[in-house]
A = this chain, B = another copy of it.
Amino acid sequence: MGFWKSLFNTSETAAATKVPRSEGLTSSGFAGGTDTRIVFSTDRDIDLYELEELCDAVGWSRRPLRKVKKAIQHSFLVLTMWEQKGSRRRLIGFSRATSDHAFNATIWDVVVHPDFQGRGLGKTLMANLIKKLRSEDISNITLFADPHVVDFYRNLGFMPDPEGIKGMFWYPE
């Protein structure tokens, strides 16, 4: 699958004119040097060890890579964020969504590397994920937010418990 440009033909998050069309479009809001840019991708061919490293960096519990691979394969959409320096690319963000391809999507595993937090990149990652889901005619975009990120998602247009609807988790007895 192609990179970013194959999915989004927006100018909203495309700032750089230097980016080769074959590589994708960069995000605005971050400057790490003349040769550094932020690239987004929907390619699922992700180095699982690199993803594990990213998740380690934010303190997530490790998960069996076999299952992570399966989850990526069976997600409706996977959107990754990379820092690109010359030809070198580093995974700095990840997100994915499950869906019935028609009505509902649920977003899981949103992560931005701590070194890259506080620059609006998480917001850009999410905005692009939403944009893509909407372009696929998904009307109901949902997620389950940990308490410390509820405000982050609220600022992106997510509402907790709308009309009293409750997010619920099943716990084995």
Q: Which residues of A contact B (CB under 8 A)?
A: 63, 67-68, 70-76, 96, 98-104, 106, 108, 130, 134, 140-147, 150, 153-154, 156-173
Q: How many copies of the polypeptide does the oligomer hold?
A: 2
**Bound-state Cα–Cα, A150 to B166, Å:** 7
- 4 A-B pairs closest in CB distance: A167-B167, A147-B164, A71-B102, A158-B168
B153 and A165 contact, CB distance less than 8 A: no
B98 and A100 contact, CB distance less than 8 A: yes
B156 and A160 contact, CB distance less than 8 A: no
B170 and A156 contact, CB distance less than 8 A: yes
B102 and A68 contact, CB distance less than 8 A: yes
**Bound-state Cα–Cα, A140 to B172, Å:** 10
**Bound-state Cα–Cα, A106 to B101, Å:** 14
Residues of chain B lying within 8 A (CB to CB) of residue A159:
168-171
**Bound-state Cα–Cα, A61 to B131, Å:** 25
A108 and B100 contact, CB distance less than 8 A: yes
Residues of chain B lying within 8 A (CB to CB) of residue A157:
170-173
**A144 CB, min distance to chain B CBs, angstroms:** 5
Complex partner residue of A169 from B63, B98, B162, CB under 8 angstroms = B162
**Bound-state Cα–Cα, A98 to B98, Å:** 7
Residues of chain B lying within 8 A (CB to CB) of residue A162:
169, 171
B170 and A71 contact, CB distance less than 8 A: no
B156 and A167 contact, CB distance less than 8 A: no
Among A156, A159, A167, find the residue whose CB has the most chain B CB atoms closer than 10 A: A167
A142 and B169 contact, CB distance less than 8 A: yes
